[in-house]
Amino acid sequence: MGTQGQAGRPPPINTTIGNNIIVGFECYGDARDVRHLLLHPVRLRIVQAFLGDRALTTTALREELADIPPTSLYRQVARLVAAGVPMVVAERRVRGAVQRTYVLRLSAASVALRGRTGAHAR
């Protein structure tokens, strides 16, 4: 049995499929909708850090967003990169690891309001 539930939808949170328990599945599927991707509080702060045509490494992001645990920051940057929101503009070797420099792709980091016609439309 695959990871899809009824009607091709992902299984609900904390579902057992075979011998695997899927915990918090929704957080892994959020890249399918840019609104859910960008409206996550940590990812939103990461995107905001790039505003103003800034080029940043994850090290620079860690310094700027010091209150976010490094593992969470790296995980959320990876999700944004997988969705094409920031793009890599440079890579260099630092002590055996590859350090990437990212810039924000504004076209990928925008959320359109559907069905809204005026500033105060409801």
Q: What is the pLDDT of residue 60?
A: 96
Token pair in block for residue 101: 């420099």
Q: What is the pLDDT of residue 9?
A: 54
Would the pLDDT of 82 be above 70? Answer: yes
Average pLDDT, the chain: 74
Give the residue-averaged pLDDT of 78-99: 88
Class of the domain covering 11-104: mainly alpha
Question: Rounded to whole angstroms, how far apart are CA atoms 85 and 83?
Answer: 6
Question: Rounded to whole angstroms, how far apart are CA atoms 73 and 13?
Answer: 23
Q: How confident is the model at residue 111 (pLDDT cuts 50, 70, 90)?
A: low
- Residue 67's alpha-carbon distances to 48, 59, 63, 71, 72, in angstroms, are 15, 13, 9, 12, 11
**pLDDT tens-digit series, residues 61-80:** 999 999 999 999 999 999 89
Strands (E), 1-122: 15-17, 20-22, 55-57, 86-94, 97-104
Token pair in block for residue 47: 């995107």
Whether this prediction's pTM lies above 0.75 is answered by no
